[in-house]
Structure 1
Amino acid sequence: MTFSPITHLRHFDLAVPDYDKQVEFYGKHWGLTATSDGSDLTYFAAEGSPEQYVVRVRKAGEKRLDLVSFGAANRQSVDQLAGYLATAGVKLISEPGNVQTPGGGYGFRFFDLEGRTIEVSSDVEVRQHRKIEEREDIPVRLSHVVLNSPNPEITLAWYEKHLGFRLSDTLNHPRTGDLFYFLRCNDQHHSMAIARGPHASLQHASFELRGLDEYMRGSGRMMRSGWQKLWGPGRHRAGNNTFTYFLDPNGNTMEYTTELETIEEDTWHPSVFNVQDAETSDQWGTANDMDDFITKEMFNDPDQGLYIAPPV
């Protein structure tokens, strides 16, 4: 690809069987704001983000990742990307046109190589947002999404070739090989990542808080409320961001983070970090050890929506 059409991550959309508990989780506990809701569909915004919404929850019989949405600079970039993907043999779900979700815009959807629905859009109306204040322990924005793949090297190459993502860093195990690829589309260390897993699924989604104090307060609030903490608090080496991971009511992993590294595009050189080095996972040494239980939970359930476009 000779151009990089993707500017940023907009939102991710989930379908879940236990809809009411998922809606309560995001609105009452996680710190998001419901901006548009109905009996079977709710949109959640982050108070500090200009995006119309950062998560959409849909009631469904089977759990799935409905889609991941990215922003593009303008309509020309959207059209250029759609034309390129069609020529490259990528299956388009829709042609570029008006987006029928809050904020409108101009965009289209397509399947990635493993069957996930991806949306790219521009000209979405900016939501009225605000500055998150000191000690306010709610998400400022959606930070990144991580996708499990049984063939992460092939998935990495696909996103590099077709969407212009750039590799920031890699996590490697000396015996089993590469486990995790961090990908960027702007100066944030990663807006998405590809993790090695037994099947295609959402590994986790991460939300940026205002700063260290707010991150710790948010993590503590979730723990005091009885939500199952998988891992953290700690600070990763790749990306230099903090982490605390929790399970949501439908078994998806959600992360609080802050201080994700920003990089200089022209001078950055990707590193390979050994996961057997304790500081790769947690520079502080404060988090519980990564174990088989955490790994299994982050593998998540096999995605039931591959090559099936969501109804909304």
Structure 2
Amino acid sequence: MTDRLITHLRHLDIAVPDYARQVEFYTNLWGLTPIAADSGITFLAAEGSPEQYVVRLREAEEKRLDLIAFGAADQESVDALAHRLGTAGVRLVSEPGKLRTPGGGYGFRFFDVDGRTVEVSCDVAVRQHRRVEEKEAIPVKLSHVVINSPDPERTRAFYERHLAFALSDTLFHPKLGEAMYFMRCNPQHHSLAVARGPHVSLHHASFEMRGIDEYMRGTGRLLRAGVKKVWGPGRHLAGNNTFSYFLDPHGNTVEYTTELELLDEDTWHPHLYDFTQPEVSDQWGTANPMDEFVAAESFNDPDRGVFVAPPV
């Protein structure tokens, strides 16, 4: 799309009360690498990713989603997007300027239609990353983020109108209607998805593994450690990616995945998938069945950060 200024997903920032336990989980169990830390804040990188960090953890009295960050090509794109949003009445949290987070860069923040803080940046220094080796069961990168909204049609429309995200596929239920919109900002099937939920919250964050073997080894490591598995292992139809969902210590759903589909955007036509069909949820048939109890695990707690910008 000629008016698409967003290039990719950068990182997810969350705040939690039990900060030490959360850092322990994401480093020693999930497989991310601490690259910087200060009092009550830790930046975690994925070894295979050029992004400075893919998760930021912050200590706070209440659990919340601090922000979702996306990349842009250059300062001109950042400025153009800030101007476009401001002119359209979107509430800016900060004006474009220099970033003080690891890697520096240039960016700004705004509230989306549900009150989430979103950051867009460019010129962030590329982190020295490496090839993840065979049998090394750690995340290569942050794959995608899924958010809950009580009005997902409105949320989808916001990202389409203001950020030029495109719809890749939709999940629906014959009696309940459309339930999830998979949205892309590049040829990857989705970098963002919007799910129908009872309140604004994080649905899940997904991390890409090197391949099927590494994905299964990572899944097994968490199972042996007694981490609560929500759903999987299996392979979705929409996106054709593998999935194993777990709960972090504060009840956020996190996913190991691999092989997420890359689309030819010029020829792709969105599908409407009935997720009551077993093969839609899991082509392999190896995961525990999707039901209302599995779905409810990813509703998460109501986000305390709605229309409240994070302090850092």
| TM surpasses 0.5 | yes
Q: Which residue of 2 aligns with 1:217?
A: 217
Within 2, Cα distance between the matches of 1:147 and 1:96?
A: 25
Within 1, Cα distance between the matches of 2:208 and 2:272?
A: 24
The one-letter code of the counterpart of 2:311 is P
Within 1, Cα distance between the matches of 2:24 and 2:291?
A: 29
Matched, 1:289 2:289: yes
The one-letter code of the counterpart of 1:215 is Y
The alignment covers a number of residue pairs equal to 312
Residue 245 of structure 1 deviates from its aligned partner by: 0.2
Matched, 1:15 2:15: yes
The one-letter code of the counterpart of 2:102 is P
Q: Which residue of 2 aligns with 1:273?
A: 273
- 1:1-312 matches, cutoff 5 A: 3-312=3-312
Within 1, Cα distance between the matches of 2:248 and 2:292?
A: 19
Q: Secondary structure at the match of 1:44?
A: strand
| 1:263-304: CA deviation from partner (whole Å, max 9, x where unpaired) | 001010000000111000000000001122222210000000
Within 2, Cα distance between the matches of 1:100 and 1:110?
A: 17
Within 2, Cα distance between the matches of 1:61 and 1:17?
A: 5
| 1:155-194: CA deviation from partner (whole Å, max 9, x where unpaired) | 0001000001000000000111100000000110000100
Within 1, Cα distance between the matches of 2:294 and 2:103?
A: 37
| 1:70-108: CA deviation from partner (whole Å, max 9, x where unpaired) | 000100000000001000000001110001100010000
Runs of 4+ in 1 over 6 A off after TM superposition: none
Q: Secondary structure at the match of 1:290?
A: coil
* TM-score, structure 2 as length reference: 0.99
Cα RMSD, aligned residues only: 0.8
Residue 2 of structure 1 deviates from its aligned partner by: 6.1
Q: Secondary structure at the match of 2:62?
A: coil
The one-letter code of the counterpart of 1:75 is Q
Identity %: 68
- Which is further off, 31-40 or 148-157? 31-40
Q: Secondary structure at the match of 1:156?
A: helix
Within 1, Cα distance between the matches of 2:63 and 2:164?
A: 29
The one-letter code of the counterpart of 2:144 is H
Q: Secondary structure at the match of 1:299?
A: coil
Gaps of 5+ in 2: none
Q: Secondary structure at the match of 1:31?
A: coil
Within 2, Cα distance between the matches of 1:296 and 1:17?
A: 22
Q: Secondary structure at the match of 1:14?
A: strand
Within 1, Cα distance between the matches of 2:132 and 2:67?
A: 28
Within 2, Cα distance between the matches of 1:248 and 1:93?
A: 29
Within 2, Cα distance between the matches of 1:17 and 1:280?
A: 37
- Which is further off, 60-69 or 290-299? 290-299
- Which is further off, 287-296 or 134-143? 287-296
- Which is further off, 116-125 or 35-44? 35-44
| 1:138-159: CA deviation from partner (whole Å, max 9, x where unpaired) | 0000000000000000100010
Within 2, Cα distance between the matches of 1:262 and 1:107?
A: 27
The one-letter code of the counterpart of 2:240 is N
The one-letter code of the counterpart of 2:95 is E
Q: Secondary structure at the match of 2:262?
A: coil
